[in-house]
Chain A
Amino acid sequence: MKKKKIWLILAGLLVCLLLLFRTSIEDRFIPLKVKNIELMKLPSNRLRFPVNINASTGCDAVIQYWKKGSKDTLYSTVSYGKQRHQLYITNTVARTSYRFRVMLKKGKEIACSKIYPLETQPIYQATPYFSLERSDPSVDEELKNKYFLTQILTQPGSVVIIDRTGEIVWYEAFQKGVKVSHWTKDRTVLCIVGPEKIPSSGGDEIVELAMDGGVLTHFKKGKGEMDKLVHHEVRKDKEGNIYSLTFTKKLADLSSVKGKKKDTLNGDGIVLFSKQGKKLWEWSVLDHLDPLKDPEILKHKKDWVHANSLYRLENGDFLMSFRDLNQVWKIDFKTGKVLWKLGEKGDFTLDPKLFFSAQHYAHPVLNKSLMILDNGDKTHISRAMIFNLDTQNMVANAERIVALPPEYYTTAKGSAGLFGVKKDKFLFCLTDPRAFLITDMKGKILWKVRVGGDPYRVEEISDFRNPKPVF
């Protein structure tokens, strides 16, 4: 009897222990499994699919997806250490059959769901179409996993990412127009949004979007510290601050040229915001130009000099392009002083053949060179130009020029940048001819996408795809 009692007590203790450590035992013994998957199709965006995942236990999760019959596997981002996950499928083309499955990971244990279908719907909207007209086999390798960011300026507007075949793979629509967009180092899209009635690629909102559609940053004129309309450019500097061009005003005495004693000049400025929207720095071109030196100032005073691109350099200084001056300026961040002006009537000795006009998209390339799209207002030939700047002797030379055939002349807007791993190709956005081009260094057209509306700019994206996770 005594023995029996001891056994019973021991058994009771075992039960208690089992109950007490139930969860850790579950962890040890409950197999890692996908319990439930819910695929969401929401009308707000036809190429973005939230997927709710419920796992048997806390774990990491990722979605693998692929076009039916394709071996090219895409991934969602990874969600870590949860039992319930929400992941997004964000890289699909319309009207296509996909397959997907969920993968879970806990420690060394891996579990996969069954494979499920995902049929994407047509994108029906006023989206201009992008159609691939030419893709030379020599760029096939280079175009692998390449995507391109562009925008629809008219209302309703959109930020759009296309793949190398011109198919839209990601978009975000706005009631207003999207004036310019930029792919940031944080794999987000930054853009200026505004109604069509604001001219000069201007807008009243700055929006930063994550790939899942989440709004990470939203500045609006009249709210917080954004007190001016912005235009033509919005980018992030290396610290993650956001900078843009602004419209600025200044009163000036133009009575000596038959204007008013207190006349208003409208020009351009720079604004730098912290991530939180605090205004860190401002600058106005109107503090650096003498209106009386412009013989046509009364005609120009409504939109004087017309800045159209801005780039913050590593050292904090800015490159700013002025369409109506046919010049690019470098502006000292610490003092606000204009360090130099490149172009006709500028500070550099420059062969007149290298004068550019109505240029866009001034940005640094290949260490210390400067690249622009010369729209060629005066020659009606648009060119990509890379300048080598000798700031000791103030001499500028052309490092590389690609002049496009006359049919690709664009009077306004557009961009030209280097493309590819070796940076040995050019990527153009040409607004009037409505085309995106990739050319080689000699200007041979290797790739062309025709655009249905007026694009403002195109940017290469190399890291649109989520990396393959270690699972």
Chain B
Amino acid sequence: MRTKKNIFLIAAITACVVFACEKGLDEETFSVFDANTLSKPVNGDQAVIGTYAALKDNGGYGYYAGYLYWLYEYPADVVTTTLTARQGVQLDQLTYDASNSAIGDVWTSIYRLISRANESEELISNIDYVGNGSTDKLKNQHLAEVRFLRALAYYDATSLWGSVPLLNKPSSQFSEADENPPLEDQATIEAAMIADLQFAEENLPPSYGASEVARATSGAAKALLGRLYIRRLEWDNAAKKLEEVIDKGYDLRNQSEGGIVSLFSRDNRSDNEFIFVLKSSSETGAYTINSNSFGQNSTPWDYNRGWGNFPLNLSFYSIFNPADARRDLLTGKFTTIYGQIMAVPKEYGGEAEAADKDTLVANFVYNLKYPHTGNYNYSGFNNVTVIRYADVLLMRAEALNELNGPNQESINLINEVRTRSNLPGYLLSNFTSKAALRDAIFEERHKEFFMEGRRRDDLIRWGKSASNGVNPLLKFKEKVVPTLKNPTTYSDAVNYVYYPYPQIEIQSNTSLNSGVNAGRVK
């Protein structure tokens, strides 16, 4: 009996060993792996970098790598076009319409950046930084970086179109209506931008370590906010905000450092005069992705086999004092790749009297702010300036003049910029009226910032302040009409302050109809 018992026991134990070892695993488990929710601080950093990358969109000519400055420079009075680029000619000669592809490209790039910023904002917000060994300070910095970039995109959108769709939420929160967003008042957009920039100035660091190049600083947020205030003619806000940037780690590149010409040297892309730039990489394989189109397009073929797509009117050369170092950023006289001398004619302040076999008389001048070398070298390793310190100085000078009329601080600020370029300083007694000093400031900006994307905004603001806000196109018309091939192209029925909404947007956004472009095109 005992034996039998033993046997049953052994059999039972055996059965347990064989069958029971799987017990407890039989419970069915279910999990969702959702890669759409990235959860580590490093993912937050990646989201930030991805948002910066949208500044150049797909590289080449995208957004700040090219087309944006087409829209800012071509219609104004300095940069003109060669006849080969049809889209550019339309912008230059004010014959564009809603189907101009550069207008459509910039619109798309802007909203692509905004969309990336929105997605990044949500992603960063959902990441537990502290719980993953990081800090909330870094989390707020990451949020501040994407909000700064979003504000910059809206700055461009409102400069170019005025009222635009406001879309500050991630796609996960989209309703049906968000897929066809209506136009929002410019003031509403600007309120959102101010909120973004105020958050950014609070939460961005004043500077970064050497490995983190070209990221937005609190100074960049303040300078952009100052630029927005000044566009809104809020002089007091602008003066105060810009003062917060002055002497905060930025200065002009002075003559002992090589002056303004060396500021644009490719060896000097981290100068502390640059407050915020689109940085281009010199890493191998950077072609089209990290390059911009300015180097290749700025200079002519005869100079260094450039494409010469940004010729400047000769009359622009003539406004410079020959001592002005900024004139050295123009191709006044050079030896062509074929060995001839190309020079600006005497009547425009240059040296050429008449063409002969060794001398060519220039039809245009070209800017040297985006130097490049080599043949068909697309990889323009140049900074594309978004905001630099000289701009902050001149904007504060302008705001103080609008507030108080001619004043010593404005004169001092302008003189900083002038003396850096070998020019004598102004005296307060040179200016007897607010208007006179205003004109001097805009003339200074004209010479300082050519081909840096500022001229169109400047002409419109100049017109506004010179007409007490009544006629934003006062100066635009005065300066641009003489540069048109056919002056009758200019139409008083068109409000050139705003570009037409792109055709692609009107066709795909059911909230818009073709009527939205009334008064924006001929």
Contacts and interface: CB of A to CB of B under 8 A. Distances in A.
Interface stretch (B7-15, B133-141, B215-223): B7-15
A230 B33 CA distance: 40
Interface string A101-138: 00000000000011010000110101011000000000
A26 to B, nearest CB: 8
B28 A41 contact: no
B358 interface: no
B33 A41 contact: yes
A35 B172 contact: no
A11 B11 contact: yes
Contacts of B36: 41-43, 121
B122 to A, nearest CB: 12
A224 interface: no
Nearest to A17: B14
A124 B167 CA distance: 13
A37 B6 contact: no
Nearest to B171: A124
A31 B19 CA distance: 11
B33 A33 contact: no
Given A18-B18, A122-B172, A7 B32 contact: no
B212 interface: no
B35 A37 contact: no
A452 B508 contact: yes
A292 interface: no
B14 A14 contact: yes
Nearest to A25: B18
Interface string B60-104: 000000000000000000000000000000000000000000000
Contacts of A126: 508
A30 B22 contact: yes
Contacts of A39: 30-33
A113 B27 CA distance: 11
A121 B32 CA distance: 14
Contacts of A43: 35-36
A56 B28 CA distance: 10
Nearest to B504: A154
B29 interface: yes
B30 A116 contact: yes
Interface residues of B, number: 28
Counting chain A residues whose Cβ lies within 8 A of the other chain, the interface size class is 35 or more
A39 B33 CA distance: 6
A33 B3 CA distance: 38
Contacts of B33: 38-41
A122 B174 contact: yes
Nearest to B509: A452
A36 B171 contact: no
Interface in B285-323: none
Interface in A1-37: 3-4, 7-8, 10-11, 14-15, 18-19, 22, 25-26, 29-31, 33-37
A396 to B, nearest CB: 40
Contact of A35 (B4, B10, B28): B28
Nearest to B172: A121
Interface in A36-64: 36-43, 56
Nearest to A111: B28
B257 interface: no
A128 B172 contact: no
A76 to B, nearest CB: 16
A35 B36 CA distance: 25
B3 A40 contact: no
Contacts of A38: 30-33
Contact of A122 (B4, B6, B28, B171): B171
Interface string B18-48: 1100100110111111111000000000000
Contacts of B31: 36-39
A7 B508 contact: no
Nearest to A155: B58
Contact of B34 (A35, A41, A116, A453): A41
B26 A35 contact: yes
A93 to B, nearest CB: 14
Interface in A413-459: 452-453
A114 B28 CA distance: 8
Nearest to B30: A37
B22 A11 contact: no
A106 to B, nearest CB: 16
A326 B26 CA distance: 69
Nearest to A49: B32
Given A8-B6, A25-B18, A33-B26, A41 B35 contact: yes
Nearest to A37: B30
A294 to B, nearest CB: 29
A124 B6 CA distance: 70
A298 to B, nearest CB: 22
A11 B508 contact: no
A4 B2 CA distance: 9
B174 A35 contact: no
Contact of A15 (B6, B10, B28, B508): B10
Nearest to A18: B14
A211 B30 CA distance: 24
Interface in B253-274: none
A42 B35 contact: yes
Chain A CB within 10 Å, residue with most, of B6, B15, B30, B508: B30
B171 A11 contact: no
Given A40-B33, A116-B30, A7 B171 contact: no
Contact of A41 (B11, B26, B32): B32
Contacts of B3: 3-4, 7-8
A10 B179 CA distance: 77
A11 B7 contact: yes
Interface in A63-122: 113-114, 116, 121-122
Which 7 residue pairs across A and B have the least CB separation, nearest first?
Answer: A124-B171, A41-B34, A7-B3, A39-B32, A11-B10, A11-B7, A36-B29
Interface of B: 3-4, 6-7, 10-11, 14-15, 18-19, 22, 25-26, 28-36, 171-172, 174, 179, 507-508
17 contacts: A3-B3, A7-B3, A7-B4, A10-B7, A11-B10, A30-B22, A35-B29, A36-B29, A39-B30, A40-B33, A41-B32, A41-B34, A42-B36, A56-B22, A122-B171, A122-B174, A453-B508
Given A38-B30, A38-B32, A40-B32, 9 more contacts: A10-B7, A11-B11, A35-B28, A36-B28, A38-B31, A42-B36, A43-B36, A114-B30, A124-B174
Interface of A: 3-4, 7-8, 10-11, 14-15, 18-19, 22, 25-26, 29-31, 33-43, 56, 113-114, 116, 121-122, 124, 126, 128-129, 452-453
